[in-house]
A = this chain, B = another copy of it.
Amino acid sequence: MDAATLLGMAAGTLTTVSFLPQVIKTWKTRSTKDISTGMFSLFCAGIFFWILYGFSISSLPVIVTNIITFILAFIILVLKLRNG
C-alpha cells in the first residue's frame, strides 16, 4: 500500500470515528441545545452526495466510510430534531 492510500485511510477512519463521541454524549445527555440543526442537516446531505460519488467512481472505501458517517451524523440530527 502506498503512502497516499495510507494517508487517505487514516483520514477517513478519523473523520468517520470522530462522530462516535458526539453520538454517545448526545445519547446519554439528551441535551442538544448547543448543536446546530443547520450543520447536521447540511452535513448529512453532503455525506449522502459522498455516498453517490463513491458509487459513481466505484470506490468501496468512499462508500463504506460515508455510510457509517451518515448513520452516526443522522442519529445526532434525529436526536436534535426530537429535542427541538
- Chain A residues engaging chain B, CB cutoff 8 angstroms: 3-4, 7-8, 10-22, 24-26, 29, 31-43, 45-47, 49-50, 52-53, 56-57
Contact A15 B47 (CB under 8 A): yes
Residues of chain B contacted by A43 (CB below 8 angstroms) = 14-15, 18-19
Contact B7 A53 (CB under 8 A): yes
Residues of chain B contacted by A21 (CB below 8 angstroms) = 36-39, 42
Q: Are A18 and B42 also in contact (CB < 8 A) when A8-B53, A10-B49, A53-B8 are?
A: yes
Assuming A15-B46, A34-B35, what are 16 further A-B pairs, CB within 8 angstroms? A7-B49, A7-B52, A11-B47, A14-B42, A15-B43, A15-B50, A17-B46, A18-B40, A18-B41, A18-B43, A19-B43, A20-B38, A21-B37, A21-B38, A22-B35, A25-B38
